[in-house]
Amino acid sequence: MPLLRAQREAAASALPPEVLDYYDAGAGDEVTRREGALAWASYRLRPRVLRDVGAVSTATTLLGQQLAHPVGIAPMAFHALATEAGELATAAAAGRNGGLLGLSTRSSRSLEEVAAAAAEHGAPWWFQVYVMKDRSLTEALVRRAVAAGAGALVLTGDTPYVGRKRRVTGTRLSVPDDHFLVNLAPHFGERVAAGAAALSVAEQRAAAEQDPTIDLSTIRWLAEVSGLPVLVKGVLRGDDAVACLQAGAAGVVVSNHGGRQLDRSVPSALALPEVASAVREHVRQAGPLPSGHAPVVLVDGGVRTGTDVLTALALGADGVLVGRPVLWALAAGGAEAAQACVAEVVSDLAHVMALAGAASIAEVTPDLVHQVVPTV
Amino acid sequence: MPLLRAQREAAASALPPEVLDYYDAGAGDEVTRREGALAWASYRLRPRVLRDVGAVSTATTLLGQQLAHPVGIAPMAFHALATEAGELATAAAAGRNGGLLGLSTRSSRSLEEVAAAAAEHGAPWWFQVYVMKDRSLTEALVRRAVAAGAGALVLTGDTPYVGRKRRVTGTRLSVPDDHFLVNLAPHFGERVAAGAAALSVAEQRAAAEQDPTIDLSTIRWLAEVSGLPVLVKGVLRGDDAVACLQAGAAGVVVSNHGGRQLDRSVPSALALPEVASAVREHVRQAGPLPSGHAPVVLVDGGVRTGTDVLTALALGADGVLVGRPVLWALAAGGAEAAQACVAEVVSDLAHVMALAGAASIAEVTPDLVHQVVPTV
Amino acid sequence: MPLLRAQREAAASALPPEVLDYYDAGAGDEVTRREGALAWASYRLRPRVLRDVGAVSTATTLLGQQLAHPVGIAPMAFHALATEAGELATAAAAGRNGGLLGLSTRSSRSLEEVAAAAAEHGAPWWFQVYVMKDRSLTEALVRRAVAAGAGALVLTGDTPYVGRKRRVTGTRLSVPDDHFLVNLAPHFGERVAAGAAALSVAEQRAAAEQDPTIDLSTIRWLAEVSGLPVLVKGVLRGDDAVACLQAGAAGVVVSNHGGRQLDRSVPSALALPEVASAVREHVRQAGPLPSGHAPVVLVDGGVRTGTDVLTALALGADGVLVGRPVLWALAAGGAEAAQACVAEVVSDLAHVMALAGAASIAEVTPDLVHQVVPTV
Amino acid sequence: MPLLRAQREAAASALPPEVLDYYDAGAGDEVTRREGALAWASYRLRPRVLRDVGAVSTATTLLGQQLAHPVGIAPMAFHALATEAGELATAAAAGRNGGLLGLSTRSSRSLEEVAAAAAEHGAPWWFQVYVMKDRSLTEALVRRAVAAGAGALVLTGDTPYVGRKRRVTGTRLSVPDDHFLVNLAPHFGERVAAGAAALSVAEQRAAAEQDPTIDLSTIRWLAEVSGLPVLVKGVLRGDDAVACLQAGAAGVVVSNHGGRQLDRSVPSALALPEVASAVREHVRQAGPLPSGHAPVVLVDGGVRTGTDVLTALALGADGVLVGRPVLWALAAGGAEAAQACVAEVVSDLAHVMALAGAASIAEVTPDLVHQVVPTV
């Protein structure tokens, strides 16, 4: 059995049903959740023959950050529900593989702890920002992420409200408050220390709810607060990608939030070509970022194999983010399993690059894929 | 379980099999009945990110009538088969939600009773007209509907004859005559009072049969008799929509009669773009209606979720009509359940509008959808 | 249960398995046999509203022959395997419904007997010709058909050899020789009477085998021998249809022989538009037939409902031929059941014409259908 | 049951599970392996009527080599796992049918033995070359193949590394070393004889591993070493086909290695039109090969019936190679069964050519097929 499937099965045995459901659930009828992986498999590959692939390199650079491979870990909430060490394990897994870590605002461990683990294992990490109704909370968190060494911010653009999931009837109940407040508690404490009245847990939750009024101007605000590149996550359209870049973004993550937000959203594998093409055209007209780097297009949603990654790169992505499989791996065997999970995808990527006649990421070009109505 | 599915299951338990079949049946092989809902799900959404959706409004206006939302109740026959109060319950459900009620000629309660209930609950209502072989019957009914406060007429255009359904072998037997004659009995009485011979039930049925010779000129006749806007229901083609407008219609309902008439008719979700586009082009050339309002395009058939409604609006509809789910709700729990049914769809609509980056009905634009061959 | 399905089930009970298989079998993997009916269902209808359909007529004319409806019976072999009266029953069924009878060279009853029955019941009949290796046999048969009153010849164009069927391992064994020789025996007898040596059954079979060397010139030969219009059956391409007309044909039957010849042939429902369009274009350029009639395009393969017929006519056919369902009906209940079978299709045709807004065959126009990838 | 299916079932009973799996396995999720045959069935045929097909010939010529038919046997490894006589049986099967034999570097019997058997049975044979890391090994093998009478070389272009198969966890263990070394052992012996140290089995394996650094220049090297035409196997793109021809190739084999290399590669049936069209265009511009022959386009992958072959020829192939079915036949009944297997495909080809109106390979033209979304 393939490793990722075995880890998924092990996780299904190991996790309490409500946690499994919390991670696994998609919004609505879960059409988009299911289509995530299937959409990658709707492309067919056009491998090249007789290319020298004696040495294959998966190395790449994102916003100037050199990486051993383009397979990052998607920012996801509450890793300690899967393994006790939580995001510390994930940071170790990312670092040992030489890849990028996405760290969620909603981590089970404080961002400073995770940053320390990431530094120990050499993992560059980007901080995923939920802009909360209480903007000062958001700002304080972002400043801490900068101080802790985040390489970029990833602004969640697709979650003005949490998507309605049928499988999860009491999400918040199932998530212990001490996880939820890990990164926020200090700030509520500071206010009390500064003489304000203590907030009830309900009031804290209200303050921490995402702000549905944010708009494109939020990108520049975050860039100014942080001094970091800001990517927007959840982009599924070319016009939105260009609008984000024009509003100061350093890139986008093509994503439908793993099918957890708007059901029947277009699969990211099908949205990617449009977004990548719009970004390319924008760069052709407007040039690179002020930093001199090229804007970044990442993609997540259903990436499970090296062939999925190869397809994503050929369709114009600069890198991919792997989500749920890392959680299953953490549940199945902690940091070691998560490291093996990413390593498996990377090893498979190198293998299929060779079989496709591509010795480097630069040689993974659009002509390697075309979409067909699948016959199987 | 989603509310509408639960109500459907409750109805399946509560209703006698022959009533369930009467409501549920489609014509022929039921291809069109089944495709109704599936066709909405064949579209994929292209949500926008980073739009201010702090306040989302579903309010809209149809032919000058302000409504809290665009989710009307489709005109359907004999609601008392589902719940004792019949259309009185339906009127209450529509009004409490601030939406439109479609009232069928074939109601179980007299149109004056329903009109009173609609007025009590603040529901605007439109009267669905079957033009009967005895035109004087039709005319008398229409005048009563006008007197009772109907806001518009909806001319049934797709039923020159009743579609053949295999599941329902004895439809008329299963429908008590006292339902069938509720709105017509007074007129037969009047004739006797005026000295004519009493008609047998068979003769009454014959007089009340729909007239298969009606044509586009019937639109203007109804408009003149009633002084009301007349919409044509059952339109599946752009050329027909324009012909109806040119013949004096104030709008069309894109519909295949819930799959109950011509099997293998195009699903309304697939016919809608053509119709909406033809109407838009007609308005561009010919201007608005004499009343100054824009012609209305409604759609029914398989609308079950807020996402279906969002899709319909993006494809050019001004509103939708929900049919069978309201009957299931009535059977499951009367007016209260029917109100909850519509409220659920409206609430879901507001939610998915927010997730799609649309804060108002006007912002639900065609770029939000595109059709794909579904992979699930 | 629909009548045709009930008759099929009755036939499956009534017939010996080897006869059922003989009738039912398709060539190869039976892809084409299965697709026959499904292909009609891949079209969607675009009905018109508000047309006067108070009177609907299915009457039509083929090569000057007036018919009550366009639903003919396809020529098929050995009807006596299904019902004792064989083609006499079929002729009665065709005539009582006012439709066309296709009579096969391989009938169980002599063509003169069938012609008498057809005349008795008022059925126009066309004679299907297999050109045999012994041309004199063919010529003799054709002359008898002319003498017996055939209205046209239908040349089998798609059977240079019998298609290989897996279900039927011993076709010829399962067909009694007295059926096979019914129409040919007299001619073998004549030769003996004229002093030739008697042929063994094997020699008779060899002489009666279809001639694989026939070509387009065979059309004119048959026309000259018979003085009748000659249609070519088995045409699936526009260029072939035009070539047949140019070679003297009076029309074509779009057919893949019920999936019994070349498996994976295009379904006739999908080939029909191309053929009909090529014939229309040919007529536009070359005018009508020398007889002044328009060339005829018939279609068979999977026609089971009035909606199938409506679709065929809208796609450009002048009429359809129904095959296996008539055999099932014969097996289920002889002439009466076969009459009911055709009557059901015709009645359904009139019904769906009305629902589609077409009061006559001439109003069944191409805009009534379009093809979609079906979602059910 | 069709012969090939019966042979497959017999093989499944006869073979040890690990051998069955070794032959049967595809790479990755086996999407490409499964799609191989299905892709041929996604084409529909457009047969011609009334062509003289009294005599049908499947004879053809490839690179000047006359063949009784275009159905070759694909080069595959280790036939002795299926039948004791190994490739001797296969050579007999190919020769008795008058077709081409592809002989793999990895044969169970020495190429000289196989060449002798091929000569005895009149089978032309082409030698499939894996270019090994030890080029001198490769060169020595090629020279032996030339000496033994190979008609051409087939350079494996799609296997820089062996594709990862999940079903086969220990491929090499399951293949006895004496098979693996059959063609190579003499050369290792020669070195020892010449005074070099003996290589361990592991060292021998390393020397015999395919060289992942080969490129287009390898084509000319092989041509120069051998003086034979060189075809490249594994080509799935038009540009690659032209590049191979420009680099000196005499043709290509459109192939995804039976789905054993890069999973989700385009099915060869879908890649073929692009490749054939590019080759035709190249010939139009650059003329034929220096030998005066036309470059050859072969195709393999999922070819199971005469209809598949007809489709391949119509799509532009000059011939096909049949793979696994020959192995199943060898396992089911040795040389005799393998001969019957190929004979069945050829006989079916002649039959469907007749039904399609093509009396010779030259008459199998592109207009005979078009692709449709299959409805079954």
Q: What is the pLDDT of residues C197-206, one digit of tens each?
A: 888 888 888 8
Give CA–CA dist A133/A145, Å, rounded. Answer: 19
SS (H, E, C) B189-208: HHHHHCCCCCCCHHHHHHHH
Q: Is A331's Cβ below 8 Å from some Cβ in D? A: no
Residue of chain D whose alpha carbon sits nearest to that of A40: D264
Question: Cβ contact (<8 Å) for A348 and D164?
Answer: yes
Q: Which residue in the list B257, B282, B351, B370 is annotated as catalytic?
A: B257
Answer yes or no: are the C-beta atoms of A155 and A231 closer than 8 Å: yes
Quote the minimal CA–CA distance from B54 to chain A in Å. 5
Please tell me whether C72 is known to bind a ligand: no
Higher pLDDT, B76 or C180: B76
Higher pLDDT, C1 or D24: D24
Give the residue-averaged pLDDT of C255-277: 97
The parent domain of residue A137 ranges over 3-371
Rounded to 10 degrees, the C-alpha dihedral C31/C36/C40/C43 comes to 20
Please check the confidence at residue B172 and state whether its pLDDT lies above 60.
no
Inside any domain, residue A376: no
Answer yes or no: are the C-beta atoms of A183 and A141 closer than 8 Å: yes
Quote the minimal CA–CA distance from C121 to chain D in Å. 34
Most D CBs within 10 A among A3, A43, A50, hence the mutation to make, goes to A50
Task: State the residue for tokens 């387009």.
Answer: C216
Q: Is C213's Cβ below 8 Å from some Cβ in D? A: yes
Task: Provide CB contacts within 8 A for A278, sequence distance 6+.
Answer: A238, A239, A241, A242
Question: Cβ contact (<8 Å) for B48 and A240?
Answer: yes
Q: Is A164's Cβ below 8 Å from some Cβ in B? A: yes
Residue-level pLDDT at C170: 52
Question: Cβ contact (<8 Å) for C49 and B158?
Answer: yes
Residue-level pLDDT at C178: 67
pLDDT tens digits, one per residue of A128-186: 999 999 999 999 999 999 999 999 999 999 999 999 998 765 554 455 666 777 888 88
Considering only the beta carbons, identify the residue of C34, C166, C374 that sits closest to D376. Answer: C34
Phi, psi of B158 (to 5 degrees): -110, 15
Give burial (CB, 10 Å; 0-12/13-18/19+) of C288: exposed
pLDDT band at A191 (very low <50, low <70, confident <90, very high): confident
Inside any domain, residue B318: yes
**Which chains have 3+ CB pairs within 8 A of A?**
B, D
Give the residue-averaged pLDDT of D120-137: 95
Task: State the residue for tokens 């339109």.
Answer: B235
Task: State the residue for tokens 């090296």.
Answer: A306
Give CA–CA dist B23/B81, Å, rounded. Answer: 10
Answer yes or no: are the C-beta atoms of B68 and B295 closer than 8 Å: no
Considering only the beta carbons, identify the residue of C54, C307, C372 that sits closest to B213. Answer: C54
Q: Does the complex come out with an ipTM higher than 0.85?
A: yes
Q: Which residues of B touch A261 (CB under 8 A)?
A: 47, 355
Q: Which of D370, D43, D347, D358 is nearest to C160 (CA)?
A: D358
Strands B65-67 and B60-62: antiparallel
Q: Which of D285, D254, D61, D84 is nearest to D157 (CA)?
A: D254
pLDDT tens digits, one per residue of A204-256: 888 889 999 999 999 999 999 999 999 999 999 999 999 999 999 999 999 99
Q: Which amino acid is at D85?
A: A
Residue-level pLDDT at D375: 47
Residue-level pLDDT at A375: 47
DSSP for residue A366:
G
Please check the confidence at residue A14 and state whether its pLDDT lies above 90.
yes
Give CA–CA dist B260/B76, Å, rounded. Answer: 12
Give the residue-averaged pLDDT of B123-145: 95
Give the residue-averaged pLDDT of B114-143: 96
Question: Cβ contact (<8 Å) for C50 and B157?
Answer: yes
Inside any domain, residue C316: yes
pLDDT band at D177 (very low <50, low <70, confident <90, very high): low
Most A CBs within 10 A among D264, D268, D274, D376, hence the mutation to make, goes to D264
Inside any domain, residue C355: no
Q: Is D157's Cβ below 8 Å from some Cβ in A? A: yes
Q: Which amino acid is at C254?
A: V
Give CA–CA dist C333/C343, Å, rounded. Answer: 14
- Four-residue CA torsion sign, B74, B77, B81, B84: positive
Give CA–CA dist B166/A264, Å, rounded. Answer: 34
Task: Provide CB contacts within 8 A for A251, sequence distance 6+.
Answer: A63, A229, A231, A232, A245, A295, A296, A297, A298, A318
pLDDT above 90 as % of chain A: 86
H-only helix segments in chain D = 3-14, 17-24, 31-40, 87-97, 111-121, 135-148, 171-174, 177-180, 185-193, 201-208, 217-226, 238-246, 268-286, 306-314, 324-356
Answer yes or no: are the C-beta atoms of D250 and D291 closer than 8 Å: yes
Please check the confidence at residue A338 and state whether its pLDDT lies above 90.
yes
D179 has which bridge partners? none
Residue C321, SS3 per DSSP: strand
Q: Which residue in the list A69, A121, A187, A257 is annotated as catalytic?
A: A257
Most B CBs within 10 A among C3, C48, C50, hence the mutation to make, goes to C50
Q: Which residues of D touch A354 (CB under 8 A)?
A: 160-161, 212
Residue-level pLDDT at A40: 95
The whole-angstrom distance between residue B164's C-alpha and the CA centroid of its chain comes to 20
Q: Which residues of A touch B41 (CB under 8 A)?
A: 29, 31, 264
Please check the confidence at residue C114 and state whether its pLDDT lies above 80.
yes
Inside any domain, residue C112: yes
Quote the minimal CA–CA distance from B212 to chain C in Å. 5
Q: Which amino acid is at B323?
A: G
CATH of the domain at C142: 3.20.20.70
Q: Packing angle between helix D268-286 and helix D238-246, nearest 10 degrees?
A: 40
Q: Which amino acid is at C352?
A: V
Residue-level pLDDT at B107: 93
Residue A101, SS3 per DSSP: strand
Inside any domain, residue D337: yes
Give CA–CA dist B260/B183, Å, rounded. Answer: 23
**Which chains have 3+ CB pairs within 8 A of D?**
A, C
Please check the confidence at residue D100 and state whether its pLDDT lies above 80.
yes
Higher pLDDT, C77 or B166: C77
Task: Provide CB contacts within 8 A for B60, sequence distance 6+.
Answer: B66, B67, B69, B70, B318, B319, B361
Q: Which residues of D touch C42 (CB under 8 A)?
A: 375
pLDDT band at A82 (very low <50, low <70, confident <90, very high): very high
**How many residue contacts between B and C have a Cβ separation below 8 Å?**
100
DSSP for residue B301:
S
Please check the confidence at residue B327 and state whether its pLDDT lies above 50.
yes
Start-to-end CA span in chain A (Å): 20
Q: Which amino acid is at D221?
A: W
Considering only the beta carbons, identify the residue of C348, C354, C373 that sits closest to B212. Answer: C354
Please check the confidence at residue C375 and state whether its pLDDT lies above 80.
no
Give burial (CB, 10 Å; 0-12/13-18/19+) of D336: middle
Please tell me whether C156 is known to bind a ligand: yes
pLDDT tens digits, one per residue of C353-371: 999 999 999 999 999 998 7
Please check the confidence at residue D376 and state whether its pLDDT lies above 50.
no
Residue-level pLDDT at B97: 93
Give the residue-averaged pLDDT of A351-361: 98
pLDDT above 90 as % of chain B: 86
Residue A73, SS3 per DSSP: strand
Considering only the beta carbons, identify the residue of D34, D163, D265 that sits closest to A376. Answer: D34
Q: Which amino acid is at B92?
A: A
Q: How many domains does chain B have?
A: 1
Question: Cβ contact (<8 Å) for C28 and D305?
Answer: yes
pLDDT tens digits, one per residue of B266-306: 999 999 999 999 999 999 999 999 999 999 999 999 999 99
pLDDT tens digits, one per residue of C137-194: 999 999 999 999 999 999 999 999 999 998 765 554 456 666 777 888 888 888 888 8
Q: Which residues of C touch D43 (CB under 8 A)?
A: 264
Residue-level pLDDT at C373: 56
Tokens representing residue B246 in the block:
């040119």
Compute the 3-state secondary structure of chain C and give helix, strand, coil in percent, each to the nearest 5: 50, 15, 40
Residue-level pLDDT at B195: 87
Residue of chain A whose alpha carbon sits nearest to that of B348: A164
Task: Provide CB contacts within 8 A for C20, sequence distance 6+.
Answer: C11, C12
Inside any domain, residue D374: no
Candidate ranges B103-107, C214-218, D173-177; pick with highest mean pLDDT: C214-218
Answer yes or no: are the C-beta atoms of D20 and D165 closer than 8 Å: no
Q: What is the mean pLDDT of chain A?
A: 94
Which segments within A68-189 are labelled E, that is strand? 71-73, 101-104, 125-129, 153-156
Please tell me whether D51 is known to bind a ligand: no
Phi, psi of A336 (to 5 degrees): -65, -45
Q: Which residues of D touch A355 (CB under 8 A)?
A: 158, 160-161, 163, 261-262
Give burial (CB, 10 Å; 0-12/13-18/19+) of C305: buried
pLDDT band at C28 (very low <50, low <70, confident <90, very high): very high
Inside any domain, residue A239: yes
Q: Which amino acid is at C370?
A: H
Return residues 229-248 of C near D (CB < 8 Å). Answer: 232, 234-237, 239-240, 243-244, 247
Q: Which residues of B touch C354 (CB under 8 A)?
A: 160-161, 212
Give CA–CA dist D105/D123, Å, rounded. Answer: 17
The whole-angstrom distance between residue B48's C-alpha and the CA centroid of its chain comes to 31
Most B CBs within 10 A among C42, C355, C363, hence the mutation to make, goes to C355
Q: Is B290's Cβ below 8 Å from some Cβ in A? A: no
Task: State the residue for tokens 């519509």.
Answer: B342
Give the residue-averaged pLDDT of C269-277: 96
Tokens representing residue D290 in the block:
């220096």
pLDDT band at D198 (very low <50, low <70, confident <90, very high): confident
Task: Provide CB contacts within 8 A for B323, sequence distance 6+.
Answer: B73, B74, B76, B258, B300, B301, B303
Q: Which residues of A touch B370 (CB under 8 A)?
A: 266
pLDDT band at B173 (very low <50, low <70, confident <90, very high): very low
Q: What is the mean pLDDT of chain D?
A: 94
Q: Which residues of C touch B263 (CB under 8 A)?
A: 307
